[in-house]
Structure 1
Amino acid sequence: MKEIFESLADLVKIHQQMNDIAIQKTEVIKVNDIKGLQTMIQQETKLLKVLQLAEGKRQKAVSAFLTERPDFVKKGGEGSMNDLLSAIPQDYQKPMQTLYDGLLKEVDKLSAQNELNQQMIRDSLQFVNLSLDLLQPDQETFSYQNPHEKGQDSQLNYSAFDSRA
């Protein structure tokens, strides 16, 4: 039982750290700091590995706890949080639910923050693409050519600067 509480508490802490990084990432994106963004991504990658280990620990602890309960095995439970809450003694249900609610809250915050960061990056890329399009417009916008005239000029490549001007 202790391992389950510890693993849930670890998961909450790791998600809080990931939320902190996601908030820092937002600030880095706002100021277009690419090196800072790379650093944040590296930190996030390290935390993801720690998160995977903590989740594996939680799964093992829950599985070990529930397999010791013959009534759970008979019911054919899946090992979900609801199964766990129904299998633990009444005294532990409220603290376990509190930890679980805290974890859900952190996961929701992280999801929302990551969605914001993704939208900001998409908007930045659209701005960059628009800027590039303005710097390199289509050939047709440089000069007018009568559509009925198909001379040799139509085969020439136009540049942004017309040397004949």
Structure 2
Amino acid sequence: MTIEPVIQRMKQLQHLHESLLFLSKKKTETLKTNDLSEIQQLLTQERKHVQAIEKIEKQRVQSVTQWAQERDLKAREWTVSEMIDRLEGKEKENLMNIYEKLILVLSDLKQQEKLNTELTQHSLKFINMSLDLFQPSIQSVNYGRKQGYSNKRSVFDSKA
């Protein structure tokens, strides 16, 4: 078996991650405009992408396992970087190129999702602050110490 099935799976993964990156950038813009229905649609699309990625990743693992078995290598999970170390020539170059492209896309996706997380957290803080303004606590209504009835008598209640 050649390395071609592994390269094809890697290309599919790269394509799916690039599409996921596009959705993530779109989600950033939607978070800025606070369009909840659009955010829900994007999350549904992201979920479908993640499911497809999981499926392709399983196929990639199977292709790598088959490649290793045909070369009588130890039965264990082989990584792409370990495969690159064992390959030579054109196969090594092709696999290395697609591997590097995938890593760059994953890095961009990670940064984009970090930004989305920060935007979501800021939005939640704003919502909590707004709710606090609409529903003040008992302590803030009383401006400090709790007011209550005391047994002490004031000057005005004393006998003359």
> Normalised by the shorter chain, which TM-score bucket?
0.7 to 0.9
Give ranges in structure 1 of 5+ residues lacking alignment: 153-165
2:43 matches 1:45 = no
> Does the CA contact (< 8 Å) of 1:18 and 1:44 recur in 2?
yes
2:31 matches 1:20 = no
Partner of 1:156: none
CA distance in 1, matches of 2:121, 2:84: 41
Partner of 1:162: none
CA distance in 2, matches of 1:95, 1:55: 18
User: Sequence identity, in percent?
Assistant: 24
CA distance in 2, matches of 1:141, 1:89: 72
Root-mean-square deviation (CA, aligned residues, Å) is: 2.0
Partner of 2:65: 63
> Does the CA contact (< 8 Å) of 1:69 and 1:87 recur in 2?
no
Partner of 1:7: 9
Deviation, structure 1 residue 77: 6.5
2:152 matches 1:150 = no
Runs (4+) off by over 3 Å? 143-147
Partner of 1:160: none
Q: What does residue range 1-165 of structure 1 map to in structure 2 within 5 Å?
A: 1-70=3-72, 72-73=73-74, 78-143=77-142, 150-151=148-149
> Does the CA contact (< 8 Å) of 1:66 and 1:87 recur in 2?
no
- CA deviations 1:82-106 (Å, max 9, x no partner) are 2211233322111110100001011
CA distance in 1, matches of 2:130, 2:121: 14
> Does the CA contact (< 8 Å) of 2:139 and 2:145 recur in 1?
no
CA distance in 2, matches of 1:102, 1:43: 23
Amino acid at match of 1:19: L
> Does the CA contact (< 8 Å) of 1:12 and 1:103 recur in 2?
yes
CA distance in 2, matches of 1:95, 1:2: 9
Give the alignment's TM-score, normalised by structure 2. 0.85
The structure-2 alpha-carbon separation of the partners of 1:45 and 1:146, relative to structure 1 and needing over 3 Å to count, comes to closer
